[in-house]
Chains A and B, each alone.
Chain A
Amino acid sequence: MLPYIIRRLAIGAVVLVVASFVVFLLVSLSGDPLAQLKANPHIPPAVIAQRERLLHLNESIFARYWIWVSHMFRGDFGNSIAGYPVGPILWGKLGVTLRLVVGATLLSVMFGVGLGVISARRQYSVVDYSATFASFVFFSTPVFVVGILLKQFLAVRVNLAAGKTLLYTLGQQSALLEPSFGSRLLDYTEHTILPVITLTLVTYPAWSRYQRAEMLDVQNSDYIRLARAKGLSPRRVLVRHILRNALIPVVTVIGLDTAAIFGGAVVTESVFGWNAMGQFLLTGIQQIDVNVVLAYLMLTAGIVILFNLLVDIIYGYLDPRIRHA
């Protein structure tokens, strides 16, 4: 197992290096990060020249990449265009984004697997048809539309009915926070509910369809018939045989969807005015801030690579037919 993990991580590292170089080129060649300054007739040329030196814009693109790589090896993500170290900002924002991503992933697993199981157990029932309909509606609705609709139709009404603000539509926290842990947690939760629901609604449908299809597949298999013929209880057949087997491919899909969830989080954060990883990436792209974009890439790609590895390892435990040597 260990050699396998090491080999996979080595491949991951190569992927990161290649991806970072390609993205570095794409971002660097997409324009001049100081263009806006240069367009402002009032800014003295000396200031621009100084900024260019700070950003090494006077050096070749390969030299700049090398500077980035050598910093990266020391765990330093470099500075943003405005001159701030990217690393600490990135970690702070990751913490905020994880609130959304972890929450939405857990909810999506619950909804996706739960609804998939119920739909499959009650195939062609009203529940099944309703779940199928809802899945397709959410599946085909863009994230930002879901977000805006939830704000208009859920937040405003809930808050009106409650007579106070329970669901916030803007930002990841209030401007003024009491320092106590409890009030912080409550404030974070009130700000996180809508974004998590939004991201969940666009994430769970695919999983629930997948879970349903896998359940139906397994449910009709010979070994389930034998399990029933052995005299096992329906509950044991469902949990230990049908669910256990149907979950194997679903786990893979969920693991591979990490990248998609981070992508969905970028849009969700933007809709709800969260200034976390999503805003970090979007402003990085807008401002042609190569260190910022690469920091985002390194982090999310690293997470995706780790998750895929994790999924493969879990897969090995879930399915004895797969063995990693």
Chain B
Amino acid sequence: MTFAIDETIPGFNVNTSADNEFVLQEVLNQVWPSAFFANGDLKPQMNTDLLTSAKVTSTNPETIVYQINPKAVWSDGTPINADDFIYNWQAQSGNSAYTDVGGKPYDDVSTTGYANIKSVTGSNNGDTVTVVFSTPFGDWQSLFGNIVPAHVAKTVGWNTGFNDYTKVISGGPFVISNYVKDQTVTETANPKWWGKKPVLDSLIFRILSDDSAGPPGMQNKEIQIFNPSAASLATKQALAQVPGITSQAPAGLEFEHMDFSQTDPYLAKVQVRQALAYAIDRQDLINRTVGQLSSTIKPIGDRMFMPTQPQYVDNGTAYEKPDLAKAKSLMQAAGMKLGTDGYFQPTSGPQAGKDLTFTLSTTSGQALRQSEEEVVQTDLQKLGVKVTIQNYTASQLFGTILPKGEYQLAIWAWVDTIFPSGNQPLYCSYTNSQACGSNYDHYANPQVDNLLNQAVATVDATQATNLYNQADKILWTDMVSLPFFQRPSQIAWVTNLANVVINTSNQGYTWNAQEWGYKAS
């Protein structure tokens, strides 16, 4: 069974910023053990092979007790125990007291949650792990994913030690038996695996360099499952020509949105932002773009949870349909005068007496985003606002333009995980530049700060969901950003491969690969 992925793998420690790639997670799902993983319903699910239980035993201070399956061992025979939990916490704690081999600081892609932990202790011969938090962290189930073996990491190093695949010992159903750099990763059954035996003998990951190679590769039976990096109509059409496969374009957790920089004196006015939002026909925008890939995609009404997630609530009902009349009256309320040429003119500020013009930016060279820009430009012209387009390369946009706030309107995507705490840095007040560095819009609302702080610290999932959605309602009222749609992902597999279950989270499609198998034909 060969799975086609389309990014190269730098090393195998997915927790480092150097190695963190979506495809690496797909490669490692069956190798590094995780306490919890995102299942097909986009909810966290306990890894019952690794743990027999994981319970919140106290909320003040927040305390979690993990019971490790006594049978759990690494593929070199070393038991998986509390030492591994302790090491993985220390490495990702962001605490400079802990260092990697040679005294180097740990390279982490994220310290979220781990930084809140006060202590991790083992008992019961290392099978019981007790985690005590100094500040409460609601998404505790996101922690202890992709656990690396402490006894190996302490020797070879966390940062680069796992660039050598032979050091990657397994705590899952498969073990990496061969790696040809930038070509293939071969995984075979882990002889020390204590859980249910996987159906397939081996999983081969073939690294493509271009999505267009996928469909012919499927037709030529060189790959059996293919997950392109970007969904496209061309790939969809090419896949439609291949016999005997199932091809889908499920809505993903990545969503396109337009942001308003509040450093601009006009966009700082909430009426202007609302007016622009009312003027944009989002359904029309979808029809002209991703609607061709998937007919189920609808405008998004929630920034914290996507429509495909169980916690989703439509908080943006007011903006369900465009309302040009309302948009125009909002513009007038914001002190804009409609000029004889049909464009609004500010009465004060840098553009006083001139036709109101905003610059719209996004990443250059992306047809989808250019189409989005054209729809926005047309819709805002109907309102009476001129839009000029100024695009940047991804590195310019994300490296300079957004962080420095050198834009007015901008379109990009946020990638959600199933853990909503990741939304906090995007919407908490920008004045806290350390924790809220991704609030490029320079939005600030103490009410939102308060709700998000509570939500992040709430251990009860229902209660937390409620708090996140309350914050989102305010974001809609303040019209901080206008969510467009979920970007579709794309997946195709040979139809006689059984048990492939769509999982659009960053867990990836291999989340249940140990259950895959060929149907008897």
Residues of A within 8 A of B (CB): 30-48, 50-51, 82-84, 89, 92-93, 144, 148, 151-152, 155-156, 159, 165, 167-176, 269-275, 278-279, 282-283, 288
The answer on a CB contact under 8 Å between B212 and A175 is: no
State the Cβ distance, B135 to closest chain A Cβ, in Å: 16
Cβ-based interface call for B422 (8 A): yes
Cβ-based interface call for B289 (8 A): no
A-B contacts, 6 listed (Cβ < 8 Å): A39-B402, A44-B94, A45-B434, A83-B160, A170-B208, A171-B184
Knowing A44-B111, A151-B220, the reply to whether A272 touches B213 (Cβ < 8 A) is yes
Cβ-based interface call for B183 (8 A): yes
Task: Give the most central of A30, A46, A47, A48: most B CB within 10 Å.
Answer: A47
State the Cβ distance, B389 to closest chain A Cβ, in Å: 19
The answer on a CB contact under 8 Å between A92 and B181 is: yes
Knowing A170-B208, A171-B206, the reply to whether A38 touches B398 (Cβ < 8 A) is yes
Cβ-based interface call for B348 (8 A): no
Which residue of B has the minimal Cβ distance to A144?
A: B212
Cβ 8 A contact of B182, one of A31, A36, A152, A279: A279
- Assembled-state Cα–Cα distance A83/B11 (Å): 10
Cβ 8 A contact of B221, one of A50, A165, A174, A271: A165
- Give me 13 other A-B pairs in contact (C-beta within 8 A), A51-B107, A93-B182, A271-B213 excluded: A31-B395, A37-B17, A47-B105, A47-B109, A165-B221, A165-B222, A174-B184, A175-B204, A176-B178, A274-B209, A275-B8, A283-B8, A288-B395
Interface residues on B, range: 35 or more
- Top 5 closest pairs, chain A to chain B, by CB: A31-B395, A35-B399, A32-B399, A275-B182, A42-B110
The answer on a CB contact under 8 Å between A47 and B108 is: yes
- Assembled-state Cα–Cα distance A77/B393 (Å): 26
Knowing A38-B399, A47-B108, A172-B183, the reply to whether A273 touches B8 (Cβ < 8 A) is no
Cβ 8 A contact of A270, one of B159, B160, B209, B402: B209
The answer on a CB contact under 8 Å between A173 and B180 is: yes
The answer on a CB contact under 8 Å between A43 and B109 is: yes
Cβ 8 A contact of A38, one of B181, B184, B403: B403
- Assembled-state Cα–Cα distance A299/B243 (Å): 43
Task: Give the most central of B111, B163, B213: most A CB within 10 Å.
Answer: B213
Cβ-based interface call for B216 (8 A): yes
The answer on a CB contact under 8 Å between B105 and A84 is: no
Which residue of A has the minimal Cβ distance to B163?
A: A84
**Chain B residues, CB < 8 A from A34:** 399
CB contact list, B154-201 vs A, under 8 A: 159-160, 163, 178, 180-186
- Assembled-state Cα–Cα distance A175/B203 (Å): 10
The answer on a CB contact under 8 Å between B11 and A82 is: yes
CB contact list, B91-113 vs A, under 8 A: 94, 96, 105, 107-112
The answer on a CB contact under 8 Å between A155 and B434 is: no
Which residue of B has the minimal Cβ distance to A36?
A: B398
The answer on a CB contact under 8 Å between A47 and B107 is: yes
- Assembled-state Cα–Cα distance A172/B208 (Å): 11
Knowing A32-B395, A176-B186, A273-B209, the reply to whether A170 touches B223 (Cβ < 8 A) is yes
Cβ-based interface call for B394 (8 A): yes
State the Cβ distance, B494 to closest chain A Cβ, in Å: 15
**Chain A residues, CB < 8 A from B181:** 89, 92, 275
Which residue of B has the minimal Cβ distance to A150?
A: B216
Cβ-based interface call for B76 (8 A): no
Which residue of B has the minimal Cβ distance to A50?
A: B105
Cβ 8 A contact of A275, one of B109, B178, B209, B220: B209
Cβ-based interface call for B53 (8 A): no
Which residue of B has the minimal Cβ distance to A81?
A: B18
**Chain A residues, CB < 8 A from B180:** 173, 175
The answer on a CB contact under 8 Å between B425 and A46 is: no
- Assembled-state Cα–Cα distance A270/B221 (Å): 19
Cβ-based interface call for B210 (8 A): yes
Cβ-based interface call for B79 (8 A): no
- Assembled-state Cα–Cα distance A155/B437 (Å): 51
